[in-house]
Amino acid sequence: MSNGKYYLTTPIYYVNAAPHIGHAYTTIAAEAIARFKRMQGFDVVLTTGTDEHGTKVERAARAQGKRPGEFADIISNEFRTEWQKLSLQIDRFQRTTAPNHAKLVNALFNACNENGHIYKGTYTGLYAVVSESFVNDAKPGDIDPETGKPYEEVTEENYFFKLSEFTEPLLKFYEANPDFIQPEIRRNEVLAFVKQGLSDLSITRTSIKWGIPVEADPSHVFYVWFDALTAYISAVEGEGRWPADLHLIGKEILRFHAVYWPAFLMAAGWALPKKIFAHGWLLFENDKMSKSRGNIVRPSPIEQVMGVDALRYFLLREIVFGQDGSFSYDALVGRYNSDLANGLGNLASRTLNMVQQYRGGATPARCDDVDFRVEADETAAAVWEAYDRFDFSRALERVWSLIGRLDKLIVEYAPWKLAKSDDPESKERLDRILYSALAGLHIICRLIEPVLPHSASLIWQQLGNAGPISPGLPRWGTFDLPKHIGEISAVFPRVDLKPAIQKMQDLEELEKNRQAALLGKKPEPAAASAEGLISIDDFAKVDLRVGEVKSAEVVKGADKLLHLKVDIGEGEPRSIVAGIALAYKPEQLIGRKVVIVANLQPRKLRGLTSQGMIVAAATDGGLPVLAGFHEEIPAGSRLK
């Protein structure tokens, strides 16, 4: 039975750079909320998408030698593909370059204009490129902390939105709707900002062309926030979904969502969203992740090594939602081994194996431990309530307390001892603990499904269930256990810390190279500039030799390194360590002619001395392709 519609959104992500784990954090949290709401019986739609207009996109595209539309297509596809890799259930993916979106943005503008809330004017001010906004309190020469360069002075004709008229209406709205902005600390920030008084807001540009034209005045294009925010409506236009029940965002864009967006909607006479929740930043090495800082972590390498549920669990268990939190590979692997492998995975494995060993896989008749039954029901209610507050960390903490309690109960009952006895009381006690453990796992699966959907489903099937995980608040005695368990397999095998981290870092490097190749800058015309060119004398300093690979083997503990012995005509083969193991197997290289840089300073890699560098090309996929020859040429020959 449906509880009605529930519509939630992530930010419409800006396409000036490819997605990283910070984007994944928001989207995973939103998808977990969507799953929970479906468990509650709601008809849910989750929207995400890409914000593709504005100065930053123009400049990023130009820097890569691409047209803005071409650049936006590439990055937007990276976001869509990333969510597919992470197995996220996205219902609507809206691009701000979609035709229906442009029409709706103009409809919002026209409604605001007809109601007297827009005027044309000229503005001169200092402009922050990263945030795409004028900085009212900046002085000439002030440095933009995001770019390290002075703010740019810009003068242009704009259409302005009369934001100043909405100071009191917004404050009255916040007072009447105290849960509109969450958590409380963010609500207080917005109240303090609005109480200072609001200034009118520029909502169009004439200095750029990459944007949605104003139909009534095509020399203007819409400013990115008036454009992007409207995507929340255009994504579900005609579906009867608006207003949104929840906008889930990062705290850095709170002002745009909690001040500008409701003011636009008030001015147009359109419905306002019901709630805005601003979570904290995901920090790496105690700093916010960003392209400009160069400390990006991408989610795909983590998913490939640890699995998507490990990433979901870490982000939503480790970090109190709404506060800043830290990411590290060490903490990720530690959480996986302690909570998932040793905790849930071990409980599921030992329970199912005991049922198989002591009862031939048959589920005992209902006979449970009364105290544990009460605790399981209390835990379920507490977890449900925590999910409703988006308190994922607390919800998971309660689930893992139940896992610990069930583990302790198994030790107290000692079924391995009871199974050896023919005493009827021992048999009854054995059935009681096995039934309690199986029923407990059924409840646990339903409680963790929003956060660990794939692992919960695997355990659910091993418990003998043929269909999907049952929705609704799990209560003891409201469900029947399958008569027989399913096939048993490990859900969370333990991983070794250092090899797992090394593999994630290696894959991170490959992913970075792939994205760089994807956005590769087009070559500059030869006559345009001599900057970066070398002379023939410089080139002559590089000693390039033909080498023949005599032996090759994998470097222990390094997935992408091979140790080669290469004959370059010196009698004794050179020792060379090359990062080509993901592209070539050792046996493929024996006898192959390659190009070697022979006059590099030797260096140590993984305890091995590398006496040169093998020459390879980088492909779009990030894998190396070795340089070679069509004709036969002796080892040691110099390239000229």
Among 200-214, 254-268, 595-609, the range scoring the smallest mean pLDDT is 595-609
> Measured between alpha carbons, how far is 419 from 439 in angstroms, rounded to an integer?
20
Residue 10 clears pLDDT 70, i.e. is over it? yes
> Residue 575 above 70 pLDDT?
yes
Q: What is the Cα–Cα distance from 106 to 537, expressed in whole angstroms?
A: 60
Of 191-195, 256-260, 475-479, 548-552, the poorest mean pLDDT is in 475-479
Mean pLDDT score of the chain, rounded to an integer? 90
The pLDDT assigned to 24 comes to: 96
User: DSSP of 285-329, one letter per residue?
Assistant: TTEE--TTTT----HHHHHHHH-HHHHHHHHHHHS-BTB-EEE-H
Q: Output the pTM of the full model.
A: 0.78
Q: Domain 4-279: which topology?
A: Rossmann fold (3.40.50)
Pairing relationship of beta strands 613-614 and 42-51 according to DSSP bridges: unpaired
Structural contact between residues 409 and 433, judged by C-beta atoms closer than 8 angstroms: yes
pLDDT for 235 equals: 98
- Per-residue burial over 317-337, b = 16 or more CB atoms within 10 Å of its CB, e = otherwise: bbbbbbeebebebeebbebbb
| Higher per-residue confidence, 17 vs 622 | 17
Higher per-residue confidence, 139 vs 197 = 197
Q: Where are the domains of the chain?
A: 4-279, 327-522, 536-626
Say yes or no: do domains 4-279 and 327-522 share a fold: no
How buried is residue 145: exposed, middle or buried, by Cβ count under 10 Å (0-12/13-18/19+)? exposed
pLDDT band at 285 (very low <50, low <70, confident <90, very high): low
pLDDT tens digit sequence for 39-71: 999 999 999 999 999 888 888 888 888 899 999
156 has a pLDDT exceeding 80: yes
Exposed, middle or buried, 463 (CB in 10 Å: 0-12/13-18/19+)?
buried
Compute the residue count for the chain: 640
Backbone angles phi, psi at 154, to 5 degrees: -130, 135
Say what the pLDDT of residue 521 is.
Answer: 47
Q: Tokens in use for 542?
A: 């590089």
pLDDT (tens digit per residue) in 355-383: 999 999 999 998 989 999 999 999 999 99
With left for phi above 0 and alpha for psi between -120 and 50, is residue 116 left, alpha or beta?
left
Residue 524 has what pLDDT? 38
pLDDT at residue 531 above 50?
no
CA Rg value for the chain: 30
* Superfamily of chain region 327-522: Isoleucyl-tRNA Synthetase; Domain 1 (1.10.730.10)
Mean pLDDT over 575-579 rounds to 89
Architecture of domain 536-626: Beta Barrel (2.40)
The amino acid at 275: K
- pLDDT single digits (tens) 306-339: 999 999 999 999 999 999 999 999 999 999 999 9
The mean pLDDT value for 509-520 works out to 83
Is pLDDT above 60 for 596?
yes
pLDDT band with cut points at 50, 70 and 90 for residue 538: low
Task: Note the pLDDT tens digit of each residue in 458-478.
Answer: 999 999 999 999 999 999 988
- Give the per-residue pLDDT at 215: 97
